[in-house]
Copies of this chain bind each other. A is one copy, B any other.
Amino acid sequence: MTATALQFKDWMGQVQAQMESALSHYLPASTHIPERLHDAMRYSVLDGGKRVRPLLVFAAGQLVDAEPQRLQAVGAAVEMIHAYSLVHDDMPPMDNDVLRRGKPTVHIAFGEATALLAGDALQTAAFDVLTASTLADQPQDQLKMVNILARASGSLGMCGGQGIDLYSVGQALTLPELEHMHILKTGALIRAAVLLGSYCGTPLSDEQRTDLDHYAKCIGLAFQVVDDILDCEADSATLGKTAGKDAANNKPTYVALLGMKGAKQKAEELKQAAFTALASFGEKAQLLHALAGYIVDRKY
């Protein structure tokens, strides 16, 4: 491993540790009534996950010299949205999955009613954290941040992507249709993570914001392409979740549409486009650059 790669790995570890403690701080304690609900919320969020979205929040924060405390709150909000979507997506009416991050899914561990409520309350908690303290220099910008997160998560964003996914099981999607689904299902929240982080410090110019947005869209899509590749190649133990289930469920994937070689080429192209979008930021985009590489080259 090179010196830079080691530094990046250290940085990731530091952010992940900070986020673990920030999430624990922002989630209500297990001793708070109703205890079982709070246990389930904490179970689903803490001690797991790569924290890709918070890492993106922090990396975008580097661009604008944002205070770490603001980035922790924003990272926690985005991660809570992500966690809630996993809890509900794993439930029997959706994917009916029993394993997540190497642990029983929430409805297996706590029952379906608690899983339903825990997902609901996690979503609310995200908007609570995002408005409980000052996270941008101007309150107007912070309102914009809440709106970006809401738009990215709702029926025209992540939730809409899950709907399209649900209604397309067993159907032959075209590449543009598949792309649209993933832009919503995974891309929208990843894009929001990058944008939100960039609102936490010195404001960017409109031109810079456009460049950053392009970066965010590229890695959002790349993330899903790589997920599809890994779902085909890896085994369940490495992934920490049930592998090969997309193919088993007859779900459309990039690998199914483009072949393994085509999917890998697509991921590489998106990574290069993300790099290009960062060019004008220079040194300040070092972490965003490294994260694009990490997202595409990861093995799980």
Q: B-contacting residues of A (Cβ < 8 Å)?
A: 28, 32-34, 36-38, 41, 84-85, 88, 91-94, 111-117, 119-121, 123-125, 127-128, 130-132, 138-140, 142-144, 146-147, 149-151, 153-157, 159-160, 162-164, 166-167, 180
Q: Which chain B residues lie closer than 8 Å to A143 at the CB level? A: 131, 139, 142-143, 146
Indicate if the CB atoms of A163 and B131 lie closer than 8 Å.
Answer: no
Query: What is the CA–CA distance of A143 and B141 in the complex, to the nearest angstrom?
Result: 10
Indicate if the CB atoms of A37 and B155 lie closer than 8 Å.
Answer: yes
Q: Which chain B residues lie closer than 8 Å to A140 at the CB level? A: 139
Q: Which chain B residues lie closer than 8 Å to A88 at the CB level? A: 116-117, 120
Q: Which chain B residues lie closer than 8 Å to A91 at the CB level? A: 116
Tell me how many chains of this kind the complex includes: 2
A149 nearest in chain B by CB position: B127
A131 nearest in chain B by CB position: B147
Give the contacting residue for A155; candidates B28, B116, B150, B155; CB below 8 A: B28
Q: Which chain B residues lie closer than 8 Å to A150 at the CB level? A: 124-125, 127-128, 131
What are 21 A-B residue pairs whose CB atoms fall within 8 Å in the complex?
A33-B160, A33-B164, A33-B180, A34-B166, A34-B167, A84-B120, A93-B113, A93-B116, A117-B155, A117-B159, A120-B159, A121-B159, A124-B159, A125-B150, A127-B127, A127-B150, A131-B147, A132-B147, A143-B143, A143-B146, A146-B146
Q: Which chain B residues lie closer than 8 Å to A127 at the CB level? A: 127, 146, 149-150
Q: Which chain B residues lie closer than 8 Å to A128 at the CB level? A: 147, 150-151, 154
Query: What is the CA–CA distance of A180 and B160 in the complex, to the nearest angstrom?
Result: 36
Min C-beta distance of A251 to chain B, whole Å: 14
A91 nearest in chain B by CB position: B116
Q: Which chain B residues lie closer than 8 Å to A121 at the CB level? A: 154-155, 159-160
Q: Which chain B residues lie closer than 8 Å to A38 at the CB level? A: 155
Q: Which chain B residues lie closer than 8 Å to A166 at the CB level? A: 34, 113-114, 117
Query: What is the CA–CA distance of A106 and B65 in the complex, to the nearest angstrom?
Result: 47
Min C-beta distance of A114 to chain B, whole Å: 7
Give the contacting residue for A112; candidates B37, B93, B120; CB below 8 A: B93
Indicate if the CB atoms of B111 and A34 lie closer than 8 Å.
Answer: no
Q: Which chain B residues lie closer than 8 Å to A93 at the CB level? A: 111-113, 115-116
Indicate if the CB atoms of B153 and A124 lie closer than 8 Å.
Answer: yes
Q: Which chain B residues lie closer than 8 Å to A116 at the CB level? A: 88, 91, 93-94, 116
